[in-house]
Structures are given as structure tokens and as C-alpha cells.
Copies of this chain bind each other. A is one copy, B any other.
């Protein structure tokens, strides 16, 4: 693949913030795909952002890959063991 590929980390902002980031990332002339990465509760925000972008803004955007997984997070202060957290990656590709 010749085009550039970007990564957007999804956090706790409203979905529209990430929609703008996706559109910006895909607006360069050689920008072909962007991957959204999310953990825990932000997973539903990632799906929202992907769906809003596809439905309302970039109609020819394709979901080329969806993957889920588990990551170990270091124990926070006061906890005595690591926590497992679910992860999700959604790759969006311009045709």
C-alpha cells in the first residue's frame, strides 16, 4: 500500500471529536486509511465515531478490519494486581 496510514487513540471525549480527527487524517492527498484504537469503555465511542463518519461524512469509507483483544494494565495505587482490559481496533479505508 502506497498511501499513508494514521492511528487515532479514542478516549473519553464525545464521538464528534474523533469524527473530526478521522476526517482530518483522511483528508491528505495520500492518506488512505486510519486505525482507531480504544480500550475499555471507549470501545463504544470508537464504534460511534466510525459509524458517524461513514454515515454522515465520508460515504465511500470502508471498514477494512475490526479486531478485539485484551491488554494487561499495570496495577493502580492501592491495587495489588494487574487489571485486564478489553481493546478494539477499527481500520477505515478510503476506496
A-side interface residues toward B, CB under 8 Å?
40-44, 47-48, 50-51, 55, 63, 66-70, 84, 86, 88, 90
A94 to chain B minimum Cβ distance, whole angstroms, is: 18
- The 8 sampled A-B contact pairs (Cβ below 8 Å) are A43-B44, A43-B47, A48-B86, A51-B68, A51-B84, A55-B84, A66-B67, A68-B90
CB distance A51 to B70 under 8 Å? Answer: yes
**Chain B nearest Cβ from A91, distance in angstroms:** 12
Q: How far is the CB of A73 from chain B (nearest CB, A)?
A: 14
Given A41-B44, A47-B86, A86-B47, are A66 and B66 also a contact pair (CB < 8 Å)? yes
Copy count, this protein chain: 2
Contacts of A63 in B (CB 8 A): 68
In the complex, chain B residues whose CB is within 8 Å of the CB of A84: 51, 55
CB of A24 to closest CB in B, whole Å: 21
How far is B67's CA from A51's CA once the two chains are assembled, in angstroms?
A: 11
